[in-house]
């Protein structure tokens, strides 16, 4: 009896978390006049809402922009932060402590502090309405550096010594020894920085005004708020669904990695 109630609670909770998305998708697949009520199965199936989105806004272009920006940031973060993490965990040099403290300081610094000055800097550099504005400020991540530093501490010193005897450089040690042994850390950093940059919307709203350079969340936000969607529920939700879909599909296949990676945000403080 006790376990019956437990399952009842869990099923109810599942409905609360998942039903709104199912309703959203079902609404986008029916004509506007059929919207209303809780049913998930459209009487008349149509892709008209999606056709309208594709003709009104360059959503595919925005998807491409999002992909370009996110992948650039992820590659840069993994590359540069693993090198810094390696130096901070395995090399002896003057100023190591100071730099570790600097990284920690950067992580606890609230971003509200630097938001406006950073925007002004980007404008003065002439980067407004360029990909540079979306990518370059996010090419490093303190969180990633600290995660790599932590992970690299557990790799045996013998491996480094042996590689050095073979004449391996520091870059060689990181790429050929540390990377293959750090796949979980690389996946975690990859997913966290990808999700962070893919979902970012405030910064693009500040620095991008040309429609063809907009990333997906920004384009969909402005479409839903602006006049182009003409207040049509089905069309607005179709745009939202297109924004959700890539991540939902990735989540379907790699949910364990998503959950475990994002849970390490817990290590942040």
Of 52-111, binders to another protein (CB under 8 A) are 80-81, 83-84, 86-88, 91-94, 96, 99, 102-103, 106, 108-111
Residue 175 as a binder of another protein (CB under 8 A): the answer is: no
Residue 116 CB, nearest distance to another protein (Å)?
4
- Separation CA 11–CA 199 (nearest Å): 29
CA 6 to chain CA mean position, Å: 34
R_g (Cα) of the chain, nearest Å? 23
Query: Taking contact as CB under 8 A, which single stretch among the options 42-50, 67-75, 151-159, 243-251 is the one that binds another protein?
Result: 243-251
Residue 119, H or E segment: helix 112-124
């996110």: which residue's tokens? 70
CB of 67 to another protein, least distance (A): 14
- Tell which one of 69, 135, 189, 240 touches another protein (CB under 8 A): 240
The DSSP symbol for 45 reads: -
- With contacts defined by CB under 8 A, name the span among 47-55, 146-154, 155-163, 231-239 that binds another protein: 231-239
Could you give the CA distance from residue 144 to residue 204 in angstroms, rounded to a whole number?
A: 22
- Kindly report the number of other CB atoms within 10 A of residue 4's CB atom: 8
Nearest approach in angstroms of CB 212 to another protein is: 19
Is residue 132 involved in binding another protein (CB under 8 A)?
Answer: no
**CA distance linking residue 26 with residue 188, whole number of Å:** 33
Is 186 a binder of another protein (CB under 8 A)? no
Q: How far is the CB of 142 from another protein (least distance, A)?
A: 9
* 3-class DSSP state of 181: helix
CB of 9 to another protein, least distance (A): 6
Between residues 46 and 100, which has the closer beta carbon with respect to another protein? 100
Closest among 139, 258, 144 to 191, alpha carbons compared: 258
Are 223 and 229 in contact by the 8 Å Cβ rule? The answer is yes
247 forms part of the interface with another protein (CB under 8 A):
yes
What is the three-state SS of 132-182?
HHHHHHHCCCHHHHHHHHHHHCCCCHHHHHHHHHCCCCHHHHHHHHHHHHC
Q: Which is nearer to another protein, 75 or 115 (CB)?
A: 115
How far apart are CB 84 and another protein at their closest, in Å? 5
Smaller CB distance to another protein: residue 51 or 251? Answer: 251
Q: Which stretch binds another protein (CB under 8 A): 57-65, 116-124, 151-159, 176-184?
A: 116-124
123 binds another protein (CB under 8 A): yes
Query: What's the closest the beta carbon of residue 148 comes to another protein, in angstroms?
Result: 12
Among 33, 37, 157, 227, binds another protein (CB under 8 A): 37
* Alpha-carbon distance values, 34 to 4, 25, 29, 64 (Å): 37, 14, 10, 33
Quote the strand ranges of 19-113, DSSP E. Answer: none
């Amino acid at each position: 009896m006790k376990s019956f109630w437990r399952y009842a609670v869990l099923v109810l909770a599942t409905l609360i978390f998942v039903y709104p998305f199912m309703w959203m998708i079902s609404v986008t697949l029916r004509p506007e006049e059929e919207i209303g009520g809780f049913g998930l199965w459209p009487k008349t199936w149509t892709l008209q809402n999606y056709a309208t989105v594709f003709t009104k806004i360059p959503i595919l272009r925005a998807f491409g922009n999002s992909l370009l920006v996110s992948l650039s940031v992820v590659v840069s973060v993994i590359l540069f932060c693993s090198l810094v993490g390696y130096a901070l965990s395995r090399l002896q040099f003057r100023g190591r402590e100071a730099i570790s403290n600097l990284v920690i300081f950067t992580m606890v610094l609230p971003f509200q502090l630097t938001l406006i000055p950073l925007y002004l800097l980007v404008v003065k550099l002439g980067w407004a309405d360029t990909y540079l504005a979306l990518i370059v400020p996010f090419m490093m991540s303190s969180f990633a550096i600290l995660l790599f530093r932590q992970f690299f501490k557990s790799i045996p010193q013998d491996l480094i010594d042996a590689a050095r005897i073979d004449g391996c450089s520091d870059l060689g040690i990181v790429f050929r020894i540390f990377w293959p042994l750090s796949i979980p850390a690389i996946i975690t950093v990859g997913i966290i920085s990808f999700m962070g940059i893919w979902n970012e919307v405030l910064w693009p709203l500040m620095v991008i005004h040309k429609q063809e350079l907009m990333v997906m969340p920004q384009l969909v936000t402005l479409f839903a708020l602006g006049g182009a969607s003409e207040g049509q529920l089905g069309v607005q939700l179709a745009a939202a669904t297109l924004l959700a879909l890539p991540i939902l599909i990735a989540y379907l296949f790699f949910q364990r990695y998503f959950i475990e990676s994002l849970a390490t945000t817990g290590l942040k403080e």
